[in-house]
Amino acid sequence: MSVDLHPIRAFLHDTHAGLLAKAQVFTQGFLAKRKPADTDVEARAEARALLKLMGDAGLFEPIRARDYRGCCLVREELSFHSPLADAVFALQALGATPLLLGGDASQLAWADRAVAGAAMGGFAMTEPEAGSDAHAIACEARRDGEGYILNGTKTFISNGGLADFYVVFATLDRAKPKSITAFLVEAHAPGFEFVRPLVMSAPHPLGEIAFRDCRVAGSARIGKEGEGLKLALSTLDRLRATVGAAACGMAARALDEAIHHAQTRHQFGKPLADLQLIQDKIARMAIRLRASRLLVYEAAWEKDNGAERVTLESGMAKAFATENAQTIIDDAVQILGGRGVLKESTVDLLYRSIRALRIYEGTTEIQHLLIAAQLLRPRS
């Protein structure tokens, strides 16, 4: 099975069952029949195809509705069947959410296109020397008349070279960290350059992009000058729990694969499932998954119910769910033995896919620092 509503029902609204059913129709009707991409080139073509299919199916609607429990459900269902399909959803959310939070009418039109699957988004924040330390952003935006000229490089950008638009974070003054500003940059803008693809172990459209005297109009600025970092962190704060949901989907698939193998594979004259060491592993996997899902949906519930910030809750959800998904998937590989390390194996793809989730949108270590900062704040 994929998403089990029973353990998390207390965190959901009545409408979420219908949303999940819609996602399951899509995953069973389309994803179950599609061969996973095997190379970076295949992943880029498949991501484009999935974008339209998912848009036509209405799967991006929770992004526009700012329904973060809905986003979690869709990501968990997608990642159970296809880590690449989940990545497509994640990038549409990262590209559209800053526009939904701070965009004007023309920028909101881009968000609408993203939700419809008619435009692919990118979130251009990471740089060669600015990863976890977002204040170190060096990409510059220089005022030029009524517009701006951008110069700099962004790396590890999902959909790099593939997206139709990017939300780009640049500084107006390197000496002033509070000058970071967000811009909506179209892929065909003069001075935009796709530098090179970056190849991950699990096929994923990743790349490096650059801005060489890239001229954008003043209307490309999202919100006010100097509010870009706030917008970026607000976006990540909202979406971080959904990363945990994706990890849960991958972990659930690994658990299913492990259970099926344990029940059908015979060794020493009996099924692997009869061996107590295997039973212990599967029990621990199930416990880790259940606890992860509860943290994920509690964080999303808090945000959907009006919490101004969910830094503590979403940090806990992402850190716990991604770390435990890594353990669950590793245990699944161990249970499958030699079959688990074959490239054709589902758990091998999951093993290669899950690793990045412990890094992007804030590493586990950064989440721990954020969690501690929240817990150690002076009490009024």
Three-state SS string over the chain comes to CCCCCHHHHHHCCCHHHHHHHHHHHHHHHCHHHCCCCCCHHHHHHHHHHHHHHHHHCCCCHHHHCCCHHHHHHHHHHHHHHCHHHHHHHHHHHHHHHHHHHHCCHHHHHHHHHHHHCCCCEEEECCECCECCCHHHCCCEEEEECCEEEEEEEEEEEECCCCCCEEEEEEECCCCCHHHEEEEEEECCCCCEEEEEEECCCCCCCEEEEEEEEEEECHHHEECCCCCHHHHHHHHHHHHHHHHHHHHHHHHHHHHHHHHHHHHHCEECCEEHHHCHHHHHHHHHHHHHHHHHHHHHHHHHHHHHCCCCCCHHHHHHHHHHHHHHHHHHHHHHHHHHHHHHHCCCCHHHHHHHHHHHHHCCCCCHHHHHHHHHHHHCCCCC
Once rounded to an integer, what is the mean pLDDT over residues 276-282? 98
Q: Which residue has the higher pLDDT, 159 or 2?
A: 159
Residue closest to 10 by CA, chosen among 241, 301, 242: 301
Q: Where are the domains of the chain?
A: 6-116, 121-226, 230-375
pLDDT number for residue 33:
84
Q: How far apart are CA 229 and CA 169, in angstroms?
A: 8
Q: Is the pLDDT of residue 267 over 90?
A: yes
CA distance 235 to 69: 15
Q: What is the dihedral of CA 93, 98, 99, 104, to 10 degrees?
A: 170
**Residue among 128, 149, 146 at smallest CA distance from 137:** 128
* 339-361: pLDDT as tens digits: 999 999 999 999 999 999 999 99
Across 26-47, average pLDDT:
92
Residues 329-340: pLDDT tens digits? 999 999 999 999
Q: Average pLDDT of 105-124?
A: 98
The pLDDT of residue 177 is above 80? no
- pLDDT, tens digit, for every residue of 50-79? 999 999 999 999 999 999 999 999 999 999
Mean of pLDDT values over 300-316: 96
Q: Are 192 and 163 in contact (CB under 8 A)?
A: no
- Top pLDDT among 89 and 175 is at 89
Closest CA to 331 of 263, 266, 251, 268: 251
Q: Residue 1: which pLDDT band, with cuts at 50, 70 and 90?
A: low
CATH class of the structural domain 121-226: mainly beta
Residue 186 is a catalytic residue: no
Instruction: Decide if 33 contacts 49 (C-beta within 8 A).
Output: no
The CATH homologous superfamily of the domain defined by 230-375? Butyryl-CoA Dehydrogenase, subunit A, domain 3 (1.20.140.10)
Q: Across all residues in the chain, what is the average pLDDT?
A: 96
The CA angle 10-304-48, to the nearest 5 degrees, is 105
Q: Does residue 154 contact residue 120 with C-beta atoms inside 8 Å? A: no
pLDDT, tens digit (0-9, with 9 covering 90-100), for 220-241: 999 999 999 999 999 999 999 9
Q: How far apart are the first and last CA of the chain?
A: 47
CATH match of 6-116 with 1.10.540.10:
yes
pLDDT value at position 3?
86
Q: What is the pLDDT of residue 338?
A: 96
At residue 379, does pLDDT exceed 90? no
What is d(CA 322, CA 241) in angstroms, rounded to the nearest whole number?
10
Instruction: Tell me, yes or no, if the two domains 121-226 and 230-375 fold the same way.
Output: no
pLDDT band per the 50, 70, 90 thresholds, residue 137: very high
pLDDT of residue 174: 87
Tally of residues, the chain: 380
**Which of 42, 46, 361, 365 is the catalytic position?**
361
pLDDT at 26 over 60: yes
Residue 32 confidence class, pLDDT cut points 50, 70, 90? confident
Q: Is the pLDDT of residue 2 over 80?
A: no
**Considering the chain, what percentage of its residues have pLDDT values greater than 90?**
94
pTM of the model: 0.96
